Amino acid sequence: MWARWVLAVYLIGFLEGSCVHILDVARDGIHAYASFPQVPLQVFFVSLAILDPLVAVLVGLVRREGVWLASAVMATDVFANWWGNRHWLQDDPARLVWLSPITFFGLFVVAFLLPLHRTVARTASSPQTAPAA
């Protein structure tokens, strides 16, 4: 049962991220993240308009690949946000509050990587269609 709740939180988080990144790119195109001076960060954040929905689909289908991709995306996303905002954090430490939701969600996703992967893998090898806990 716990795995269903964890997958639901993953799904909600990645659907929210999908909406944010898709709307940003729809509004401002490939320059949506021009406020970040590092081009690799800009490219990464634009790519989240594709990666976040992909993770949501794979997690919604209860695929092991979705669990791994979710962790990779969130680890990179948290790192990119902290790296890209480091100068603002030095100038105004109160901005830590702004990074808290993505950081906590990223920690949640990574913390459940192995237990969720094991549960989903067991489910995939059994005739059930949803993970049991």
More confident residue, 86 or 15: 15
Least confident range of 4-13, 32-41, 88-97, 105-114? 88-97
- Determine the pLDDT at residue 112: 97
Structural domain count of the chain:
1
Buried b (16+ CB within 10 A) or exposed e, 70-93: bbebbeebbebbeebbeeeeeeee
Backbone angles phi, psi at 55, to 5 degrees: -60, -45
Whether 130 is in a domain gets the answer: no
- Determine the pLDDT at residue 127: 61
pLDDT-based confidence at residue 90 (cuts at 50, 70, 90): confident
Whether 108 is in a domain gets the answer: yes
Whether 13 is in a domain gets the answer: yes
* Cα–Cα distance, 87 to 132 (Å, whole number): 45
Query: Is 125 a residue whose pLDDT tops 90?
Result: no
Whether 133 is in a domain gets the answer: no
Whether 110 is in a domain gets the answer: yes
- How big is the chain by its Cα radius of gyration, in Å? 16
Whether 15 is in a domain gets the answer: yes
Whether 42 is in a domain gets the answer: yes
Whether 45 is in a domain gets the answer: yes
DSSP structure string for 72-101: HHHHHHHHHHHHHTHHHHHH-GGGHHHHHH
Query: What is the rounded average pLDDT for all residues in the chain?
Result: 92
Domain that holds residue 36: 2-125
Residue 67 near residue 117, CB atoms below 8 Å? yes
Its pTM stands at 0.88
